[in-house]
Structure 1
Amino acid sequence: MEMRIPLSSPDIDEDDIAGVVSVLRSSRLSLGPMLGSFEQAVAEYLGITHAVAVSSGTAGLHLALLALGVGTGDEVIVPSFTFIAAANAIRYVGAQPVFVDIDASTLNLDPERVESSITARTRALLIVHTFGVPAEMDSLMQLAKRHGLLVIEDACEAIGAEYKGRRLGTFGDAGTFAFYPNKQITTGEGGMVVARDGDVAASIRSLRNQGRRKGDSWFEHSDLGYNYRISEMNCALGLSQLKRIDKILERRAAVAEEYDVLLRGSSELTLPPLSLPDRIISWFVYVVRLNARFSAAQRDVIRNSLVANGIGCGRYFAPIHLQPSYRSILLEKLHLPVTESEAERTLALPFFNHLTKAQVMEVAENLLGALHP
């Protein structure tokens, strides 16, 4: 069923289209000049030395873990309240995801619970900046340093977000970004891995392109690699989008403020914070939480009511540790009370750059009406 007001929608303008068309008129559709230009532009925007474009955020997480040497026998701490790709990438390299509960205010990893989950086998923290809200990086980085752990930042939902004046993705040993069509900026499909260390970046470049190191010929493969390349068309679109990222992020913040004005009076809802001390949020989605009296079934009734009126909405996220593909690998039944409680009551509302004030008002009116039928 097509929604009158979709949950998300990419923001594509004529310059974006012209950039992609210019590539199609050229003779280089892969591994061409747009790739390098896009990587350099992202690195400069983030203030980091190395950026490597890949086919998706998931591919970026996989390659970051591989390049940092995470593998069989290692444990990686990760939230369960996130998209499943974060945990899947850990399993791709043969490591064990260790799910840790979240802080109820930010929905990010709770540093105190992280510390109590560290064992002799813990190799890395995979820190997710959920919904574009910066995690508590000071505490988490101090934990990592104290225990000698690697840090991978999953900033796939958080391009442009900042913690104490520093852009996310640049704190850890590697950071990953994603550019799916529902993200702040899009390449259609695509992702980026960033790193400070040149050797790590070189490994990722090799691994994304069938294991070819710099200097290898097309049929020479120094590493066991993958086809995680990204096309020139994707890069051209990303490069064009990045040029107006500031305006895009400003508009998304404005939409969040419009929702806040209309919904803040409801005692039935917990709204996402518009701001947090020392942090700049990059608005990926607008997720409200129904108050504790609501069950998951009641949340779904409300969701279905909005959908019946042509308004797209969804739940973010289904806890990974409760997914069928993870229950079978967990050594014992895991209970994460904050994750499970919050996940049952989340509702993502339509959220994208071109959402109009009239549409925001319609969504808010329908939601408030569904809460009080």
Structure 2
Amino acid sequence: MSKITDFFPQKCRNPTSEFSDTTAIPLPDRAENASQPAAGIQEPPQKRAKKYLSSVERFPWLERVEESSTRHVTAYRCRTCVRMGLQGKWGTIPMLAKGSSPGAALGGYLENAPHNANYASKFTAVEMLEICGQVMRDRITSSIQTTGADGVCLIADESTVKGVTGSYLCVMVRHLDPNTAEPKESLIDLKRVKKTDGQSVFNAISSSLDRNAIDISWVTALSFDGGANFSGVNRGVRSYFPKSVLYCHCRAHALALCIKSAASQLCPRINACLDFCASLYDHFGRSNAKSVALEDAQCEASSGAGDSSECELEGDEFEPRAVALKLLRPVGTRWLSQGIALSRVLRIYTPLASALNRLAEERDFTSGGFLTFMLKRNHDRVLGAS
């Protein structure tokens, strides 16, 4: 399957290359024989060129400025730079006049930039992000070093990403703003970690602090969630700091953990609906046949209604396909998961009831019990109010 990045020009630093035009993006030649595509290309050049254009136009920060039917070339320009008066490409005189005024470093970079580095170039976008990130990091580091000796609060959390090996660690620092003397939270690092035990996470946090020139002895308080690898007093990150360092449990996690117990006392129906969502997730997640029945019910509902409100669209504009939605488990430690799980049940309410009814007709008594619960008027009102 082709990716969007496959349709971008290859990175080339030679000014005399075929991508040296600073005002245009080369597209496949129309003279190529569409009936005999090149090796590794499974579609005609005309369709590939059309898909390339539609992929580039999806970027909201790009603007089409001209189109030539004879050269088969379309030029793009950055909307933000147009508003700033920088209407040229890298290395042009208008941009040098604007970019060289703040400092010689930016002007020198623009002057020595490659000729094929236009705004639609993927490696130029990466370089721009790296420069902006370095500028922001320098500003944050300078602000923290001004008042960091008075004490900072370390905030950190890690999360897994679907389809990615390992986890991502987010490191933040709460410090005093040197201008207003008010508490301020600053992101200092977001990195990928392969291990999430206390020792590995502490080493990753220490390297992030050293990278931003923040002395670890400045840390006077910690703020984590209830995970054992962070707040554990024996092998967690908390155990590697002196006992004099204060620890504050994350307020958002604490409130999320209180919702379940508070609902059981104040509104048993809401508590029953949360348990119902978790039971539905286990009911369909542990059986492949039941999962297929739910997917078929969603596809039938979408095709009968003429839309895809019960499904998500994937693919491209040439071959879109509907993907059935899956049930979600409400997790107490994730403060948004409970509301998202209830919303997912409401979104696929009709095909979910149809799938349960079909399974109940096949003598699945558990599905029949779930269907009876869903059809009760009082529980239906609670789900709608949630």
TM-score w.r.t. length of structure 2 = 0.25
TM-score w.r.t. length of structure 1 = 0.26
Higher helix share: 2
Larger radius of gyration: 2
